[in-house]
Structure 1
Amino acid sequence: MQLTFASYNMHKGVGVDGRFDPDRIISVLRELNADVIALQEADRRFGERESILPKALLDETPWRAAPVNKRARSLGWHGNALLVRRDIEVVDAQALHLPTLEPRGAVRADLLVEGQRIRVLGAHLDLSGLLRRDQIKAMLHHCGHCETPCPTVMMGDFNQWGRTKGVLREFTDGWQTPSIGNSFPSRRPIAPLDRIVYSSEWACENTHVHHSALAAVASDHLPVRATLRILPKN
């Protein structure tokens, strides 16, 4: 079984040209053509925290949002959302609290694909290195104590500038942290802030930063993409 995952900090729908344009974000998502997409900054930060992407726009796409929202008009939790292809069953979904000094969280969905259960987490980590490390530990602890272990993918804006150190050192026990490439800032990317990491049950077919002309202006981050394959059991 092979699936394509993507992560995209959509900057609340505001491009580097200063224009708010949800339709442009949808067009970038269509370019990605992934099976599962983790979004960051997908909701407004204040008030009712409604989704940046209108429901009518999302209804015309191949994806639906995993039900991780705690407010009726939100797409996700603290701006984190998971979009899943409509033919993939969502068997469990929840929001996770992360240790932080400011509003941060993560989202998790368990999916059923061809009879195989997989787990996906999306997050937007803190600017502080110490808090980022605690947040990764909390997510790994959560995965380790889920009732049903299964192949897992964790992705999002990790706010980690270094390629191999910092919070990435927390991923042990077979977790893979591929160097996908620089995704920030979108017009002239110099930092690999956006990541996709995966548990030992997966093999990586390919990874890349999606640097199209549209993506370069739609947000201050470029999306990242990885195609993963479940390894056969011994």
Structure 2
Amino acid sequence: MNVPVEALPTSARVLTWNIHKGIGTDRRYDLGRIIDLARRHEPDIVALQEVDSRGRDPTNLPLAALKLALGSHAAEARTIVAEDGHYGHVLISRWPLEQIALHDVSIGRREPRCAIEATIGTPRGSFRVIATHLGLGMGERKRQIGRLVALARAADPAEGLVMLGDFNDWHGEVRRALDDVLPAWSFLRTFPARRPIFKLDRIFCRPAGALNQCWTDSEAARASDHLPVIADLALEALTAGRHGPAELASLHAS
């Protein structure tokens, strides 16, 4: 059955959030409130940092619960693996994830870090996503930014690109470094959650016209020490020249 172009989704809602291992500012572990708040915004694509299964019930692991609630497709970066579980970040999507690649951006003996890269196959077409969680050290982060810039430059310029996560962007150095390759970005203060001052968490994208709006949710301050960043992105801009199966069928039928 052909789907008319006008019936295809026009935007993708993306959300990035450092969930602080599911522990809120009240020091309680409660993954349910993380899920409830994220679902309230009805995201199509979710990047979550500090997802921690260590010491948790092996029959009810965080990733399984998050994937069940937020999307049927997921890619996971396990940056720390222990006997009682693992820790890292995840990319979850309601649309298929293809060509998934994990890029090690660890520096020396600092905490292991990774970037998840994948193609998102939407009904309107495909675009690339890179989700990451950068280090705390300035020198460490500078080298990691260089690797992210290289990844952005290596991606097909005809394909839209979204980069999101916790960049620990204390002084805006990440935004400035990515300016040439990802000309649109969020500008919201996200840390500390109760009285946010720093713009640590970001959503970057190209082309510039793809970013329609972005916002945060102050109620998230009870669930984590970071606030989430949510953005609506124009799929027509992201997928220009990258038609999806439904759109191709409609175009052929017209």
Provide TM-score, normalisation by structure 1: 0.82
Conservation of the 8 A alpha-carbon contact between 1:89 and 1:112? yes
Alignment of 1:220-231 (within 5 A): 220-229=225-234, 230-231=236-237
Conservation of the 8 A alpha-carbon contact between 2:158 and 2:240? no
Alignment match of 1:189 (pick from 196, 217, 235): 196
- Structure 2 CA distance for aligned equivalents of residues 46 and 137 of structure 1: 35
Q: Gaps spanning 5+ residues in structure 2: where?
A: 1-9, 242-254
1:66 paired residue number: 74
SS in 2 for 1:26: helix
1:20-76 deviations in Å (ceiling 9; x for gaps) = 1111111121123111011100134699x9996152x335424134234569x99xx
Conservation of the 8 A alpha-carbon contact between 1:121 and 1:155? yes
1:78-121 deviations in Å (ceiling 9; x for gaps) = 61200101xx1222212110042321111112111125111111
Between the two proteins, the alignment pairs up a number of residues equal to 223
Identity between Structure 1 and Structure 2 (%): 31
Conservation of the 8 A alpha-carbon contact between 2:119 and 2:129? yes
SS in 2 for 1:79: strand
Structure with greater Cα Rg:
2
- Structure 2 CA distance for aligned equivalents of residues 226 and 133 of structure 1: 26
- Structure 2 CA distance for aligned equivalents of residues 206 and 160 of structure 1: 20
Alignment match of 1:175 (pick from 164, 174, 182): 182
Alignment match of 1:5 (pick from 7, 14, 33): 14
1:39 paired residue number: 48
Q: 1:11–1:65: structure 2 CA closer, same or farther, 3 Å change rule?
A: farther
1:157-203 deviations in Å (ceiling 9; x for gaps) = 111123xx412221143522434311111111111111000122642
1:185-232 deviations in Å (ceiling 9; x for gaps) = 1111111111000122642211111222xx121010110011111328
- Structure 2 CA distance for aligned equivalents of residues 51 and 42 of structure 1: 13
RMSD of equivalent CA atoms: 3.1
Q: Aligned partner of 1:17: which letter?
A: D
Conservation of the 8 A alpha-carbon contact between 1:39 and 1:80? yes
Q: 1:105–1:63: structure 2 CA closer, same or farther, 3 Å change rule?
A: same
**The 10-residue stretch of structure 1 (186-195 or 144-153) with the greater mean CA deviation from structure 2:** 144-153
Conservation of the 8 A alpha-carbon contact between 2:189 and 2:199? yes
**The 10-residue stretch of structure 1 (135-144 or 4-13) with the greater mean CA deviation from structure 2:** 135-144
- Structure 2 CA distance for aligned equivalents of residues 233 and 11 of structure 1: 36
